[in-house]
Structure 1
Amino acid sequence: MRLTTARMALRNGFATHYTRFPNQRTIDPRAGGAGSGEIQGGGGVVEAAFGVLGSTALRLDGELDARWAPAKPRAMLAALLVAPGGALAAAALARWVWGDEQRRPSNTAATLDVYATRIRRLLKQLPVPASLRGDRGTYRLDTDRSAIDYFQFRELATTAREHAVRGDHAGAARLSDRALRLSRGKPLEDLRSPDAMAWRARFEREELIPAHSTHLRALVDLGRGDEALALLDVLLPEHRDSLALHTLRLVVLHALRRVEEAGEYCLAVRGSLRADGDDQAAEHLLRHHESLVAGGPSAPPHHKPRQLPRDVTDFVGRTTELAALDAAVQAGRGVVVLEGMPGVGKTALAVHWGHRVRAHFPDGGLFVDLAGHSGQPPASPAAVVDELLAGLGEKPDSSATPPVRAAALRRVLASRHPLVVLDNARDAEQVRPLVPLLAECLVVVTSRTALTALDARRVQVGPLSPAESTTLLGTRLGRDDAGLRAEVVRLCGGLPLVIAVVGGHVAEYRLRRGSVPPRRLLLELGIDADGDTSPQTLFTWSYRALPPPARDLFRALGAHPGSEFSASAARACWGGGDPSGALSTLVEANLLECNGDRFRFHDLIRECAHRIAHSDDPPAHRRAVERRILAYYLGSAIAAHDILYPGHSTGPPLPPEPLVLPSRFADAESAREWFAAEQVNLMAAMVFAAHAGHHGYAWRLPHAASRYLQRNGHHEECGLAREIAVESARRDGNAEAEASSLADLGLAYLTLGRFADAERALLRAREFADATGNVRGQGVIRFHLGRLALHLGDAARAIGLLNESLGFAERGHDGQGKRWTLHALGDALLAAGRHGHALTALREAERLAVAGGDESARASVLAGICAVWRARGRFPEAAAYGEAALRTAEEARDSVIVVATLVALTEVEHARGAPAAAETLARRAINLADRVHDLPTHARALDLLGDVLVGQGRTPQAHTAWRDSAALYDLMGNAAHHQAVLAKIPRP
């Protein structure tokens, strides 16, 4: 390429398509061949079942099809394929699919559900197992990563680099070429959101360009410089900002002995870089060119340090981190910081990678332990300089001042460029004086602290995945039983150091297992006569290095019942004003993870904090911390409940706890978001309060949270919460609270289909209500017993109980109870065939719901009126009421009523002979009922689906639906419905 062409390459921006090779044909996304996601390994051809390196594609009928759906369903699948096996919240998924600027559908959640249904149907046609799960507002796609072209690309590119390090240039060229030919266009082409663009930029910077570099260097080493130059002519217009590609072009031109052209190109690119203000890159390019011109003049042999510790023989995983480190090799110098929590394997990663790329550092490798977090004082910069000089074969002059010795190190490194690993840095100040001395080297620093003050590339080292942990543990434990491996993997939380400790002390682990709490046992392993290598000591070193406020907060957070929490919850734990500074310190020390406005403990570090608090803080102090955090969650839950469900009581309050500021909410949306974010913590707080003897909190928390859980389909959690409430109210000596909790528990059991348990709980509650003359309690309990009778098919008994309930509601002037009881009475009258009376009751219930502003009640009543009109054969009126009920329930975000309304509409469409619409509605009801664990409605929807399918002549599918329905009725103990559904299936 001549100078004019070079300048054209510099002026051009990024091309609209990703890299194509000069001799590569354009590949149809549906066509076969290498570009369609095909890898040839030693065992034959492995074809990708999923493609994201272009428009999102699925392998259907043997071909990679990128036209299987419109753009948005393809975008949803692409977002899930980037991290298969990981749960993605609906809100985060929506950001990937639509971004912040694009207009979203009015009901994003329902739209995602529709897309998910379409994707699930196609996943069954793929040549590999794959499933898409949607549960409680999250989505997760499970499949083998090797079936996705992006992960095939990563595997090929990594293997190609390994071949290059070993000197197998032909293998490196072949494998990197295969990796690059997997591209069918721009990665994640169906996504335009900021999240997708950030992923695409990272892929290009950290994976695509390094893969091209490996390929081009291999071609040069094979004497195929002309081919490499042709490829660069295509690449550089697309990647004009890639210094690695510019330096590679100089290498290629010098290899082809086109020295004059190389000089012109260097001047042109250097001028462009300086015009862009990147003087450092410009000077690097110039020095690189000058070294090529000089041809590396001979010099006396230097001492080549080989100080890296022995490589880890059972190293597992870290593909992403290794790729980031490999990308740093292309620059040749600079600082890379590997940061992460204690025990996560930062040193092992640095050492393993250093051995892997040893061929790139002919001047050797230096390794210095900075002792930033250990039982010893941290190494001073002057001591590190002396150790580096000694490693380079230069005896430090102990009589010289530190600046003189630093100048000696700078002079020695002027002609040598070893890899330098500075392990276990305490903070940026320990490393900062060393960076200018090592300016010509690639420096890898490991630290538990976020060294944000350093001008460095930071690589976060997180815990291993469960699969990687299992592999690593298998090398440590050999052929031990699978149960032990699964238990240890779960408890270790992906920390290689803890896994290694268990592997080295497996006999002790087996001996003490069961007699000591499991996480406490893991922390204590490693304390023996030879010293203390326990995880507890490792974590404590980090704790002792904290300033006093952060240490105080760390101990206080050990009392928090869940691993994740907000800053407001941390403030309540601490009780000492604004905790933001101490929280930032804990995050920087990698003792906490920060994700937006949420913070998270690793389970073992949380256990360590709990143990330190028990050893350092007096019992009275610890109990005060526990009360503060429980008071925060109770006060916040009551505030959110009162916004969402005005008029519903949460029971008598406790006296306010000093120093606690519960969250407050401006509107229903913020209250609902708080409940969703804190649901796990609320459940953990209930369990903790009961176990720790804070019974006043343990029964009040369920009363504050269970209505949200029930309305949003979290019925299992609602049942557990109410079981805790019953037991803690009894232990608290509060008979009224126990009876109220029993009534609530009966409702939870009713929703879960546990009819016998529901009846027992409700009858116990009725005994108390009748004995004390509690009018409201008497009405509520008879209401639930009436609904139970209706579920069991006894309409006459249901009508009697509900009429009794209505009488109590009228005596107690309970408007809320009256509207819900009238609604249930309408359903019972309909079941008894008394259509006119049912309609009268339901219309009165609707009037009361509108007057009370109770949208959930109104939606449920409208669905009941829909059912009456359907029973009368008035299908247009039935459909109108059903659609109004569905809109109202969705606006109220009451998933239980949404499911019931979908079933009512299914019955309407089926009755008026619209099987396609009926099937769609039934399947929506089944999917949602399954997600919210509404067993009675789930069983009814399956029964209905069978009726719809058999009417279409799809008998085998109808029988499957009926069998599933019968199984659910059997599980609930509903013998009558169980037998009725089975009777529809002819005996063989």
Structure 2
Amino acid sequence: MRFGILGPLRVCTDAGAEVMLRSRHERAVLGMLLVHPGQVVTLDRLVEALWPDRRPASYASNLQTYVSRLRERLPGVTIEHHGGYRIRVDAQQLDVLVFRREVAAGRAALAAGDATSAVAHFRRGLGQWRGRPFADLVVAALEPHVTEWEVERLAAVEDCVDAELATGERLTDVLAELHRLVAEHPLRERLHGQLMVALSLAGRRADALAVYQNARELLVAELGIEPGAQLRQLHQSVLRGEDPAVARPRSAAPAWSAVCQLPPTQPGFVGREELLDRLAVLLAPGAAVPVVALSGQPGVGKSALAVVLGHRTRAAFPDGQLYVHLAGASAAPRDPGAVLADLLRSLGTPESAIPQGVPALSAAYRARVADRRVLLVLDDAGDPAQVRPLIPGTPGSAVLVTSRRRLSGLIDARHVPVAPLTEAEAGALLAHVVGADRVADERVSAGRIATACGNLPLALRIAGTRLASRPWRLRTLADRLDDERQRLTELAAGDQQVRAALALSVRALSPAARDAFGLLGVPGPTTFAAWAVAALVGRSDVDAILDELVEASLLEPVSSELGELRYRLHDLLRIYADELAAEAEAARRAARRRLLDATVVRAGHAAGHLPRTLTWYRSSGTDPAGGDWLAAELDFLTGAVTMAHAAGADQEAVDVAERLAPFLWTQGRWSELRAVQRVVRRAAERIGDERATARAEFLAGVLSLVCGDMADAAKSFAHSRAAFERLGDRHGLACVLSDQAVLYGYQNRFEESAAAAGRAVELFRSAADPVAAVLASPALSAALRGLGRLDDALAVDRTAVAEARRQVAAEIVVARALNSLAVTRLLRGEPRLAYTAAAESADRLRGVGDRYVLLAALRHLASAAAGLGRRREAVRLLQESHDLAVQLGDRLWATGLERDLAVSWIGDGRAEAAVPVLRRCLQTYDDMDIRSAKSATLDMLARAYDALGDRAAARDARRGADVLADDRDARTPALSKIILRLAESVGARG
């Protein structure tokens, strides 16, 4: 099989029969493979070639179909799949390979003085051309190759003319051909010179001089330049009547001399060993020229990394290491043509042999480095157009590019983002600049400096330089850097300034992206989604702006939640964005207002879709997807509350917080909820919103209750109860009473607990909130159990379960009612019925992911399993429940479960290990002043001492339990007796 691409695409069998390929897409795929013979063409490049504007949804399967058809139509031709496609052809099968082989042989013969043989080789090579390459195929991705080959063809024609002139034969034909070539390429000085030589050899010196005059006038008129040195010398030679020098056989190409242009490695370069190893692998010579593009924000150390890597890999590139600073981030990026000319000069190309125009320069450069093993380091590239003409054409070489931009247009490159240093690396760099002793003496301050610098090498070097030149303590600079308003001013040393480095990148943005960047500091140090950016800039179409900021390495995509990408600003970039926004304060205030308005609406929509699970948040939603959105936006929303309050937008702070608080509670995010609650209380007080203040106070009580701080819980509940009573807010009052009943239960004040819980249920029903009435029923049941009224508690639980099922309430509501029913069944001595209720509760809770209620259901399921004699299951369930309590930070539940697990150790023969744990739990209950829990724990401790044979200690523990049992709680001791069954030895139970 033979392939022709130097003209219309043609495929013939070895016998000369043409193979017809009628499909344009099949021809395009074949063309792309043939311009890279023996090399893998990536799927992305093939797809872009076939569908440059918009790829169809089925592009992958379509591409596979086209390749399959080519394999059918081209028997005997190998098309391999290796993360792309590769066609196997030898030098005789493809016309462009034959052309290049013959031209190379012609040049070698001409250099050796054999002009006749050289002419034969050149003519055979040029005979492969049938017209413009791919003349019948319009594929934009092929055009660069077409241009390159046409430049190669013209250079080969000129070399052939030199050989013809050297033979002295066919002078008339050569003159005719040169006249045509000069007319087609009037700015090619070499052709004008060859025509002068041919005319001189024909005895037409006057015509030769006229050619020079015409050439000079044309160059001055068109380009504003005089003829080059070689053409001027030839003119002088003709004037003197000398033999024209160009007619002599051309000398061989200049000898290759390996060069190393890499700058010195930056002193104190630290870390990045794993990245350096990975990059060295990516640069390893292979079947194609590897292009590795390093990108990252200003000051992250891309250039230093590239130089270190270049020095480390020198052995893999013995023919030289070239380095070019492209100044892409400056106001005057270097022109690829000027870079190519400089590269040719550095590789020994004489000035007279350096062509004009980027295509010709690129072809000459690629010919010069062909089959060499050269590493090209391109530092600070501005865009892909700067890079593409500089990529060598033959395997063996490699290209390493650094850029502030991501250079996504280099579709075949391996793109590697460079991150800031790790904490350890940042500390090592600071120690190198400042001195290891000074850093060792003030490690905490050194860490603060590194954090303030965002672990960016540029910022760290500047900070270190300031310290090295001043007798400051590290703490002095750390304190200065803590002030974000002055941080960028402090990070300056001479002409090295972090602010200037950041400004360079921002100035290169489009006006829309530059304005948007200046507003991205408004949300504070958090991630954000596209909707937030749209609100900030006041427009919905922000995709192009975000893409530009990401491409410029000024914005980092960090995660994708719910299919929506989230973004983050590095701290120093955020501070610089704030500085820019401060220059237009009115615009920043308007942007903040738009952002907060959008946040309130979106948070309200999401919270409104949450299933109803709390007494104090009335929602009719049934879609848990609202929780997914709140989870994805959690950090942003908590930051928005703080940001709103700090900016004086207190009503918005309250609005966002009240929509977020129920989600935080159900997820057990106590620390975030407490922080939000504190901000809301201050905001509500500042705007005089008494109802919001009461809600914040109530929430403080709930959080104190979870943490086991009964005194603070009692104070908060009392204050919020009084406020709701004063406001006449029956629903708010019912919420407080419901949780106040729980507090009274912990304090063994069961009459008060029953009264509060009963009133809460009545108020919820009168306020037309039957779901809240069901949610408050477990508190009433618990109080009745504490009073020993188990039949009444059972009636309350049955009613609550039935009501929850009848209302088709959320799973958590039904599960809570079942959970309470399980406890009552346990206390009634009905472990099997208790197990059934607790198991259903746990199953429902696992399905909805409510970990807080689940830990209680698991504990009660464990108690039922223990009551049924299923020890192993009970211990497993206790451990699972304990782990959840620890994760959620619920001190009360975690203590009780740790105690129950310790009881199980007694039965395993590990009573000695159980004693210190039980004593620690006893101390915790003492701190919380929960007498019933202390009594039960002393009973368990007595059992541990019994197992150890310490009768005196056991007797003292039981006496303590009896004293505390004067305030009888019919609930806790009974449940504890069930758990105590786990203290029985395994062997004793057979």
Fold shared by both chains (TM-score > 0.5): yes
Q: How does 1:184-223 map to 2 (within 5 A)?
A: none
Q: How does 1:264-343 map to 2 (within 5 A)?
A: 278-279=86-87, 302-331=256-285, 333-343=289-299
Residue 959 (structure 1) aligned with residue 915 (structure 2): yes
Asked if the contact 1:321–1:459 (Cα under 8 Å) also holds between the matched residues in 2, the reply is: no
Tell me the equivalent position of 1:458: 415
Query: Structure 1, residues 342-396: CA drift from partner, whole Å, max 9, x if none?
Result: 222211111001111112222322211111114x421111232233234335565
Tell me the equivalent position of 1:497: 458
When residues 391 and 925 of structure 1 are mapped into structure 2, their CA distance, relative to the original with a 3 A threshold, is same
Asked if the contact 2:284–2:290 (Cα under 8 Å) also holds between the matched residues in 1, the reply is: no
Query: Structure 1, residues 534-577: CA drift from partner, whole Å, max 9, x if none?
Result: 22221221111111121122122221234312222221122112
When residues 310 and 381 of structure 1 are mapped into structure 2, their CA distance, relative to the original with a 3 A threshold, is same
Distance in 2 between residues matched to 1:810 and 1:870, nearest whole Å: 29
Tell me the equivalent position of 1:539: 502
1:671 corresponds to which of 626, 641, 660: 626
Tell me the equivalent position of 1:156: none
Residue 905 (structure 1) aligned with residue 871 (structure 2): no
Tell me the equivalent position of 1:430: 386
Secondary structure of the residue that 1:444 maps to in structure 2? strand
Secondary structure of the residue that 2:662 maps to in structure 1? helix
Asked if the contact 2:925–2:931 (Cα under 8 Å) also holds between the matched residues in 1, the reply is: yes
Tell me the equivalent position of 1:248: none
Distance in 1 between residues matched to 2:721 and 2:89, nearest whole Å: 80
Tell me the equivalent position of 1:488: 449
Give 1:631's aligned amino acid: D
When residues 715 and 328 of structure 1 are mapped into structure 2, their CA distance, relative to the original with a 3 A threshold, is closer
Distance in 2 between residues matched to 1:923 and 1:624, nearest whole Å: 52
Q: How does 1:100-111 map to 2 (within 5 A)?
A: none
Distance in 2 between residues matched to 1:651 and 1:730, nearest whole Å: 21
2:702 corresponds to which of 747, 760, 764: 747
1:637 corresponds to which of 603, 609, 627: 603
Residue 381 (structure 1) aligned with residue 346 (structure 2): no
Q: How does 1:227-238 map to 2 (within 5 A)?
A: none
Tell me the equivalent position of 1:564: 527
Asked if the contact 2:259–2:322 (Cα under 8 Å) also holds between the matched residues in 1, the reply is: yes
Give 1:524's aligned amino acid: T
Secondary structure of the residue that 1:384 maps to in structure 2? helix
When residues 282 and 419 of structure 1 are mapped into structure 2, their CA distance, relative to the original with a 3 A threshold, is farther
Residue 928 (structure 1) aligned with residue 891 (structure 2): no
Asked if the contact 1:696–1:732 (Cα under 8 Å) also holds between the matched residues in 2, the reply is: yes
Secondary structure of the residue that 2:479 maps to in structure 1? coil
Query: Structure 1, residues 625-653: CA drift from partner, whole Å, max 9, x if none?
Result: 11222222221121111111359799999
The CA deviation at 1:427 is 1.1
Q: How does 1:145-184 map to 2 (within 5 A)?
A: none
Asked if the contact 2:613–2:810 (Cα under 8 Å) also holds between the matched residues in 1, the reply is: no
Bigger Cα displacement from structure 2, 577-586 vs 457-466: 457-466
Asked if the contact 1:942–1:964 (Cα under 8 Å) also holds between the matched residues in 2, the reply is: no
Tell me the equivalent position of 2:48: none
Asked if the contact 1:557–1:574 (Cα under 8 Å) also holds between the matched residues in 2, the reply is: no
Bigger Cα displacement from structure 2, 683-692 vs 501-510: 501-510
TM-score (normalizing by structure 2):
0.65
Asked if the contact 1:522–1:535 (Cα under 8 Å) also holds between the matched residues in 2, the reply is: no
Asked if the contact 1:651–1:700 (Cα under 8 Å) also holds between the matched residues in 2, the reply is: no
The CA deviation at 1:519 is 4.7
When residues 435 and 519 of structure 1 are mapped into structure 2, their CA distance, relative to the original with a 3 A threshold, is farther
Secondary structure of the residue that 1:338 maps to in structure 2? strand
Query: Structure 1, residues 800-851: CA drift from partner, whole Å, max 9, x if none?
Result: 3223333433443442332223221101211222211111122222233234
The CA deviation at 1:705 is 0.9
Asked if the contact 1:419–1:443 (Cα under 8 Å) also holds between the matched residues in 2, the reply is: yes
Give 1:358's aligned amino acid: R
Tell me the equivalent position of 2:196: none
When residues 646 and 711 of structure 1 are mapped into structure 2, their CA distance, relative to the original with a 3 A threshold, is closer
Tell me the equivalent position of 1:788: 743
Distance in 2 between residues matched to 1:947 and 1:400, nearest whole Å: 90
Secondary structure of the residue that 2:284 maps to in structure 1? helix
Distance in 2 between residues matched to 1:557 and 1:931, nearest whole Å: 34
1:468 corresponds to which of 422, 425, 428: 425
Asked if the contact 1:406–1:437 (Cα under 8 Å) also holds between the matched residues in 2, the reply is: no
Across the two proteins, how many residue pairs are aligned to each other?
A: 703
Q: How does 1:512-527 map to 2 (within 5 A)?
A: 512-515=477-480, 517-527=482-492
Give 2:690's aligned amino acid: A
The CA deviation at 1:687 is 1.4
When residues 453 and 650 of structure 1 are mapped into structure 2, their CA distance, relative to the original with a 3 A threshold, is farther
Tell me the equivalent position of 1:356: 312
The CA deviation at 1:709 is 1.1
Distance in 1 between residues matched to 2:284 and 2:88, nearest whole Å: 15
Asked if the contact 1:613–1:622 (Cα under 8 Å) also holds between the matched residues in 2, the reply is: no
When residues 476 and 811 of structure 1 are mapped into structure 2, their CA distance, relative to the original with a 3 A threshold, is same
Distance in 2 between residues matched to 1:646 and 1:846, nearest whole Å: 15
Q: How does 1:347-746 map to 2 (within 5 A)?
A: 347-374=303-330, 376-394=331-349, 396=351, 401-403=356-358, 406=362, 408-414=364-370, 416-435=372-391, 441-454=397-410, 455-477=412-434, 478-479=436-437, 480=439, 481-506=442-467, 510-515=475-480, 517-528=482-493, 530-531=494-495, 533-594=496-557, 595-596=559-560, 597-616=564-583, 618-646=584-612, 668-746=623-701
Distance in 2 between residues matched to 1:328 and 1:862, nearest whole Å: 60
Tell me the equivalent position of 2:172: none
Residue 833 (structure 1) aligned with residue 788 (structure 2): yes
Tell me the equivalent position of 1:143: none
The CA deviation at 1:955 is 1.1
When residues 733 and 671 of structure 1 are mapped into structure 2, their CA distance, relative to the original with a 3 A threshold, is same
Residue 842 (structure 1) aligned with residue 797 (structure 2): yes
Secondary structure of the residue that 2:909 maps to in structure 1? coil
Secondary structure of the residue that 1:558 maps to in structure 2? coil
Query: Structure 1, residues 702-738: CA drift from partner, whole Å, max 9, x if none?
Result: 2101111111221222222222211111012111111
Distance in 2 between residues matched to 1:544 and 1:704, nearest whole Å: 39
Query: Structure 1, residues 564-603: CA drift from partner, whole Å, max 9, x if none?
Result: 1222222112211210111111111111222443232243
Unaligned runs of 5+ in 1: 1-204, 206-268, 654-664
Distance in 1 between residues matched to 2:793 and 2:866, nearest whole Å: 22
Give 1:503's aligned amino acid: G
Query: Structure 1, residues 762-782: CA drift from partner, whole Å, max 9, x if none?
Result: 111122122233222222222
When residues 314 and 803 of structure 1 are mapped into structure 2, their CA distance, relative to the original with a 3 A threshold, is same
Distance in 2 between residues matched to 1:514 and 1:395, nearest whole Å: 59
When residues 975 and 428 of structure 1 are mapped into structure 2, their CA distance, relative to the original with a 3 A threshold, is farther
The CA deviation at 1:925 is 0.3
Asked if the contact 2:614–2:775 (Cα under 8 Å) also holds between the matched residues in 1, the reply is: no
The CA deviation at 1:474 is 3.5
Bigger Cα displacement from structure 2, 677-686 vs 753-762: 753-762
Distance in 2 between residues matched to 1:949 and 1:407, nearest whole Å: 80
Asked if the contact 1:866–1:882 (Cα under 8 Å) also holds between the matched residues in 2, the reply is: yes
When residues 460 and 320 of structure 1 are mapped into structure 2, their CA distance, relative to the original with a 3 A threshold, is farther
Secondary structure of the residue that 2:571 maps to in structure 1? helix
Asked if the contact 1:371–1:425 (Cα under 8 Å) also holds between the matched residues in 2, the reply is: yes
When residues 547 and 398 of structure 1 are mapped into structure 2, their CA distance, relative to the original with a 3 A threshold, is farther
When residues 975 and 416 of structure 1 are mapped into structure 2, their CA distance, relative to the original with a 3 A threshold, is same
When residues 340 and 467 of structure 1 are mapped into structure 2, their CA distance, relative to the original with a 3 A threshold, is same
Distance in 2 between residues matched to 1:839 and 1:652, nearest whole Å: 27
TM-score (normalizing by structure 1):
0.65
Distance in 2 between residues matched to 1:739 and 1:676, nearest whole Å: 26
Give 2:691's aligned amino acid: E
Secondary structure of the residue that 1:331 maps to in structure 2? coil
Greater Cα radius of gyration, structure 1 or 2: 2
